[in-house]
């Protein structure tokens, strides 16, 4: 362009340049919108696939069957005592009752009935008969849980048109299931088992509670240790520590630790907590300690950033009015930095909630049926449970996997909501 343009054309040049700047601006906006929409589309696809496969995990099919409470098998006196009640041969009650109902006499037919009624029925019958001992000797109609393959059939996930040897259910079993539908002996209910128990090899009996509680216990240990230690370290380094080579070294090390792959912390936990201190394997307390090590750098770094963001004028004013350095920090600086520190802590904990790698080394990737009762009981955590289900052969575990992911996401949303609330409560503007 000619730089020696006359005054008349100068406005034109500016005008042209202006058009260019406007179009660059609108292009930039479009890029931004494009970026956000791509992210939204992926998020939508992810949520859609998880929700569409995971929602069926929250419902289960129940079947209404008559059970003959054989007085020869059930001893009424045993019912009051839980230990004695456990010894009652409920398998016989359930097997005899369902064989009688479906008219199965051959051994092979009886085996095929295993795919129709879950073994959970034994517990459901026990619960009923313990609550109603007067029913011993009677035939009672009870709603019991359907087996996983029968459940998939009622949810429409089994293709009937396939040849018999490629279906999980054979013609006889499908005929039984259809008969139950025709007699209105089938209903779909909320899957309470999913929220009441631990892992199981039978998909219809698998529950998320043990893993949920494991995650909860682990995070309590992590929060209880990493928040005070992290905040104390940040306050010391930011407000009190002298600036010298040693504190520089500490700072570099903390920043590096934040980038260390999490499995390394697992190895450290194995070597220190298990092998040297002899703490129990698979326990939430050890998981919490390992995850504390992992989240500490995140918390320290974000807490220091929050402390640095407090205006120096507040500090100067406090010192000027005669407050001691410690009073200045704890009466003025820390309360103002608290919202930022809490945000950092929640981000660190959210990261810890999703970790499986470090827990592998300390034995938390395990088949755990019993719901943990304390910090030293064997326990798994939510992401571990999801991983174990995703690797299982039984097809009904596919929906359990997505169901587990939904529970994990809910947990995360609850945690984040808490962080937002706390931040709102403590936030100061200046």
Contact residues for another protein, defined by CB under 8 A: 83, 86, 111, 114, 159, 162, 165-168, 198-202, 274, 276-282, 363, 365-370, 376, 378, 388, 390-395, 398
Other beta carbons within 10 angstroms of residue 147's beta carbon come to 26
The C-alpha torsion from 266 through 272 and 277 to 283, rounded to 10°, is: -10
Dump the DSSP string for 263-308. Answer: HHHHHHHIIIIIIIT-PPTT-HHHHHHHHHHHHHHHHHHHHHHHHH
- Give CA–CA dist 402/413, Å, rounded: 16
In the complex, minimum distance from the CB of residue 166 to another protein, in angstroms, rounded to a whole number: 5
Question: Of 221, 204, 206, nearest to 368 (Cα)?
Answer: 206
The phi-psi region of residue 363 (left if phi > 0; otherwise alpha if psi is between -120 and 50; otherwise beta) is left
Residues 6+ apart with CB under 8 A from 364: 214, 282, 287, 379, 380, 381, 384
Place of tokens 């892992």: 199
In the complex, minimum distance from the CB of residue 278 to another protein, in angstroms, rounded to a whole number: 4
Decide whether 238 or 377 has the Cβ nearer to another protein. 377
The pair phi, psi for residue 139, each rounded to 5°, is -105, 125
- Three-state DSSP state, 125: helix
Based on the number of CB atoms within 10 Å of its own CB, is 294 exposed (0-12), middle (13-18) or buried (19 or more)? buried
Decide whether 156 or 312 has the Cβ nearer to another protein. 156
In the complex, minimum distance from the CB of residue 106 to another protein, in angstroms, rounded to a whole number: 13
In the complex, minimum distance from the CB of residue 425 to another protein, in angstroms, rounded to a whole number: 32
Decide whether 99 or 279 has the Cβ nearer to another protein. 279
In the complex, minimum distance from the CB of residue 275 to another protein, in angstroms, rounded to a whole number: 9
In the complex, minimum distance from the CB of residue 265 to another protein, in angstroms, rounded to a whole number: 17
Based on the number of CB atoms within 10 Å of its own CB, is 421 exposed (0-12), middle (13-18) or buried (19 or more)? exposed
Decide whether 258 or 366 has the Cβ nearer to another protein. 366
Decide whether 168 or 354 has the Cβ nearer to another protein. 168
Decide whether 310 or 365 has the Cβ nearer to another protein. 365
Place of tokens 């601006």: 25
In the complex, minimum distance from the CB of residue 252 to another protein, in angstroms, rounded to a whole number: 20
In the complex, minimum distance from the CB of residue 427 to another protein, in angstroms, rounded to a whole number: 33
In the complex, minimum distance from the CB of residue 121 to another protein, in angstroms, rounded to a whole number: 13
Helix (H) or strand (E) holding 391: none
Decide whether 241 or 258 has the Cβ nearer to another protein. 241
In the complex, minimum distance from the CB of residue 93 to another protein, in angstroms, rounded to a whole number: 15
Dump the DSSP string for 1-18. Answer: --TT--HHHHHHHHHHHH
The first and second tokens of residue 87, run together, are 């010894």
Decide whether 351 or 376 has the Cβ nearer to another protein. 376
Query: What angle separates helix 382-390 from helix 209-235, to the nearest 10 degrees?
Result: 140
Decide whether 109 or 394 has the Cβ nearer to another protein. 394
What DSSP character marks residue 58?
A: G
Decide whether 392 or 416 has the Cβ nearer to another protein. 392
């Amino acid at each position: 362009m000619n730089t020696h343009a006359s005054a008349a054309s100068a406005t034109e040049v500016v005008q042209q340049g202006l058009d260019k700047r406007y179009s660059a601006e609108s292009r930039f906006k479009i890029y931004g919108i494009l970026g956000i929409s791509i992210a939204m589309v992926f998020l939508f696809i992810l949520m859609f696939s998880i929700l569409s496969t995971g929602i069926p995990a929250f419902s289960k099919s129940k079947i209404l069957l008559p059970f003959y409470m054989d007085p020869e098998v059930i001893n009424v006196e045993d019912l009051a005592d839980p230990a004695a009640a456990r010894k009652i041969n409920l398998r016989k009650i359930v097997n005899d009752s369902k064989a009688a109902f479906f008219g199965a006499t051959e051994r092979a037919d009886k085996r095929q009935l295993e795919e129709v009624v879950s073994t959970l029925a034994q517990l459901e019958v026990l619960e009923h008969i313990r609550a109603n001992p007067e029913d011993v000797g009677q035939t009672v109609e009870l709603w019991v849980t359907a087996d996983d393959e029968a459940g998939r059939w009622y949810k429409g996930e089994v293709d009937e048109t396939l040849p018999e040897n490629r279906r999980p259910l054979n013609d006889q079993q499908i005929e039984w299931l259809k008969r139950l539908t025709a007699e209105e002996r089938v209903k779909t209910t909320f899957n309470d088992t999913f929220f009441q128990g631990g892992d199981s090899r039978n998909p219809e009996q698998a529950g998320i509670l043990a893993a949920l509680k494991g995650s909860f216990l682990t995070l309590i240990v992590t929060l209880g240790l990493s928040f005070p230690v992290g905040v104390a370290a940040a306050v010391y380094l930011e407000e009190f520590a002298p600036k010298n080579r040693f504190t520089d070294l500490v700072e570099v090390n903390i920043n590096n630790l934040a980038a260390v792959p999490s499995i390394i912390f697992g190895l450290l936990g194995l070597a220190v907590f298990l092998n040297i201190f002899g703490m129990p394997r698979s326990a939430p307390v050890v998981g919490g300690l390992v995850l504390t090590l992992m989240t500490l750098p995140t918390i320290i770094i974000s807490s220091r950033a929050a402390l640095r963001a407090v205006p120096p004028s507040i500090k100067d004013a406090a010192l000027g009015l005669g407050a001691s350095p410690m009073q200045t920090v704890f009466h003025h600086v820390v309360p103002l930095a608290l919202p930022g520190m809490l945000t950092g802590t929640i981000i660190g904990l959210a990261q810890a909630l999703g970790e499986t790698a470090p827990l592998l080394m300390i034995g938390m990737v395990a088949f755990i049926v019993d719901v943990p009762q304390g910090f030293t009981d064997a326990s798994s955590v939510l992401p571990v449970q999801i991983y174990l289900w995703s690797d299982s052969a039984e097809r009904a575990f596919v929906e359990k996997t997505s169901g587990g992911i939904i529970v994990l996401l809910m947990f995360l949303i609850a945690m984040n909501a808490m962080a937002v609330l706390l931040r709102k409560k403590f936030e100061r503007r200046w």
